[in-house]
C-alpha cells in the first residue's frame, strides 16, 4: 500500500497513525494538494464547514519560575513584560462577558506560573462557577502543571469543561526548550485532568528547531492520549525568547503540519492557533479546510487579528462561525451571520507584544 493509501486509512479511522508516514508527509513525499484532500475529509465529516472561535484572557501575567524558551514570561527573560498577579474578579467577569457577546465558542483563561497551589485552585474554581452561572459559555483553563489529582477534582467539581496543557514538542526535544520541568510532568498533568473527567486540550508549538520526526511523534502521542482538542501553534519569536534554533516555517509547511495533525487525530478539534497570521500568511483560508477552530484577538504574549477581521476572513472563505447568536452584541451578530463586512481591525501579520493596556484592558 502506498503512502497516500496508508494516510487515507488513518484519516478514515481504519488504522492508527505511524510516525514514519507522518514524517514523510511533512517532508513532502506527497503533493500538498493531495495531503489537503486527505485531511479535509475527516474535517468535513466531524465539523462540517463550521469554525469555532476561541478568545483567550491572560488573567495572571509574569512572575513565572519556569524557563520555557518560547515564552516572554519565563524567569530568565531579559525583556520587561507587564507582570501582574491575578486580575480582580470583576475585571475577569467583564472580559468573559465581552467574549460571550462577541461570539466566543470558548473562553480560555490563561495564567502564568508553574502550576496552581491548592489555594489558587480553589480561587479558579470559584471564578469558573461565577462565569458559568452568568454566561453559558464553554470554559477552558490553562494554569500549568497539576501534580496533585485532587486539584483536578476541585476544578472538575466547579464545572470546568476543559484544561489546556500543551505537550509543545517531542519528548527528546523538550530539554532544548525548557529545563525546569519535564515532558513527563506534562503527560502527568494531562492524565490527572483527564482522570478527573475534564476534557483535555493539548497541542504543540512548531518552529522551535524540531525535526519533522519530532512533530510526527507529538501527533501520534496526542492520538494515543486520545486528546480531543489540539492547538497547533506556530512559534512567534517574541522579544526575549530563548529558542536557540528556531526553524523557518513556510506557509506550505504550516499547512502540511495542520494536515498531519488532522490525519493522525481525525475527530479532534484542530486549532489554527498562535502565529497563523505571520506564518500562514495568505494561506489562512486554505487552512480552514483542515483546522476547525482558531483564536481571535491574540495569544499568550502577542496580539493577533481582531474578531471583526477574522469573521470576515472566515465568511469570505465560505465557512460559518459556530456560535449561538441569541445573546450576541448586535454588531457581532451581523458579522457572525455574514450580514456585514467590517472595516479591518488589527491586520494579518500585525503582531505586536501585548501591552499592559491590552492585558488589563478593563483595569480600573
- Check: CB of residue 29 under 8 Å from CB of residue 256: no
Q: CB neighbours (10 Å) of residue 66?
A: 19
Q: Looking at 106, 140, 162, 360, which residue is catalytic?
A: 140
Which is closer to ligand SF4, CB of 90 or CB of 184?
A: 184
Let me know if 254 is a catalytic residue. no
CB of 350 to ligand SF4, least distance (A): 23
Instruction: Please report where in the chains the cell 457577546 appears, as a residue.
Output: 101
Composition of the chain by helix, strand, coil, percent to 5: 40, 15, 45
Which is closer to ligand SF4, CB of 288 or CB of 299?
A: 299
- Check: CB of residue 33 under 8 Å from CB of residue 208: no
**291 CB contacts (<8 Å, ≥6 apart)?**
43, 232, 258, 262, 270, 271, 272
Instruction: Indicate whether 284 belongs to the interface with ligand SF4 (CB under 6 A).
Output: no
**67 CB contacts (<8 Å, ≥6 apart)?**
74, 75, 76, 178, 179, 180, 242
**Per-residue cell: 136:** 453559558
**Per-residue cell: 199:** 476534557
CB of 235 to ligand SF4, least distance (A): 13
Instruction: Indicate whether 269 belongs to the interface with ligand SF4 (CB under 6 A).
Output: no
CB of 198 to ligand SF4, least distance (A): 19
- Check: CB of residue 294 under 8 Å from CB of residue 72: no
Q: Looking at 43, 74, 108, 276, which residue is catalytic?
A: 108
The 130-159 contact track toward ligand SF4, x by CB under 6 A, reads --------------x---------------
- Check: CB of residue 228 under 8 Å from CB of residue 193: no
Q: Give CA angle at 359 (119, 117), nearest 5°.
A: 15
The 46-65 contact track toward ligand SF4, x by CB under 6 A, reads ------------------x-
Instruction: Indicate whether 104 belongs to the interface with ligand SF4 (CB under 6 A).
Output: no
Q: Which of 39, 68, 272, 351 touches ligand SF4 (CB under 6 A)?
A: 68
CB of 236 to ligand SF4, least distance (A): 12
Instruction: Indicate whether 71 belongs to the interface with ligand SF4 (CB under 6 A).
Output: yes
Let me know if 308 is a catalytic residue. no
CB of 302 to ligand SF4, least distance (A): 13
Let me know if 259 is a catalytic residue. no
Catalytic residue list = 64, 68, 71, 108, 140, 201, 271
Q: Report the interface residues with ligand SF4, using CB under 6 A.
A: 64, 66, 68, 71, 73-74, 112-113, 144
Amino acid at each position: 500500500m502506498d503512502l497516500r493509501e496508508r494516510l487515507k486509512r488513518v484519516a478514515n479511522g481504519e488504522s492508527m497513525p505511524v510516525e514514519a508516514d507522518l514524517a514523510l508527509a511533512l517532508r513532502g513525499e506527497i503533493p500538498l494538494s493531495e495531503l489537503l484532500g486527505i485531511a479535509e475529509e475527516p474535517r468535513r465529516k466531524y465539523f462540517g464547514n463550521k469554525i469555532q472561535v476561541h478568545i483567550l484572557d491572560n488573567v495572571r501575567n509574569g512572575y513565572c519560575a519556569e524557563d520555557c524558551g518560547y515564552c516572554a514570561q519565563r524567569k530568565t527573560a531579559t525583556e520587561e513584560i507587564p507582570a501582574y498577579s491575578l486580575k480582580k474578579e470583576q475585571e475577569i467577569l467583564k472580559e468573559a462577558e465581552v467574549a460571550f457577546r462577541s461570539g466566543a465558542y470558548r473562553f480560555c483563561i490563561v495564567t502564568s506560573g508553574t502550576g496552581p497551589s491548592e489555594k489558587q485552585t480553589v480561587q479558579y474554581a470559584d471564578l469558573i462557577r461565577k462565569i458559568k452561572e452568568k454566561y453559558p459559555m464553554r470554559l477552558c483553563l490553562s494554569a500549568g502543571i497539576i501534580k496533585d489529582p485532587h486539584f483536578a477534582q476541585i476544578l472538575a467539581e466547579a464545572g470546568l469543561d476543559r484544561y489546556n496543557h500543551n505537550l509543545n514538542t517531542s519528548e527528546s526535544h523538550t530539554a532544548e526548550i525548557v529545563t525546569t520541568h519535564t515532558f513527563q510532568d506534562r503527560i502527568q498533568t494531562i492524565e490527572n485532568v483527564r482522570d478527573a473527567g475534564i476534557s483535555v486540550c493539548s497541542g504543540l508549538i512548531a518552529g522551535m528547531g524540531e525535526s519533522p520526526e519530532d512533530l510526527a511523534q507529538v501527533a501520534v502521542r496526542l492520538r494515543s492520549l486520545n486528546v480531543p482538542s489540539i492547538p497547533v501553534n506556530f512559534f512567534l519569536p517574541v522579544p526575549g525568547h530563548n529558542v536557540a534554533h528556531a526553524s523557518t516555517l513556510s506557509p506550505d509547511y504550516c499547512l502540511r503540519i495542520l494536515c498531519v495533525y488532522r490525519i493522525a487525530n481525525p475527530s479532534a478539534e484542530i486549532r489554527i492557533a498562535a502565529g497563523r497570521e505571520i506564518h500562514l500568511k495568505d494561506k489562512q483560508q486554505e487552512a480552514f479546510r483542515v483546522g476547525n477552530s482558531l483564536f481571535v484577538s491574540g495569544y499568550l504574549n502577542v496580539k493577533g487579528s481582531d474578531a471583526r477581521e477574522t469573521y470576515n476572513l472566515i465568511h469570505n472563505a465560505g465557512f460559518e462561525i459556530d456560535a449561538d447568536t441569541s445573546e450576541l452584541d448586535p454588531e457581532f451578530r451581523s458579522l457572525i451571520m455574514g450580514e456585514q463586512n467590517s472595516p479591518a481591525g488589527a491586520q494579518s501579520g500585525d503582531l505586536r507584544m501585548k501591552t499592559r493596556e491590552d492585558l488589563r484592558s478593563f483595569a480600573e
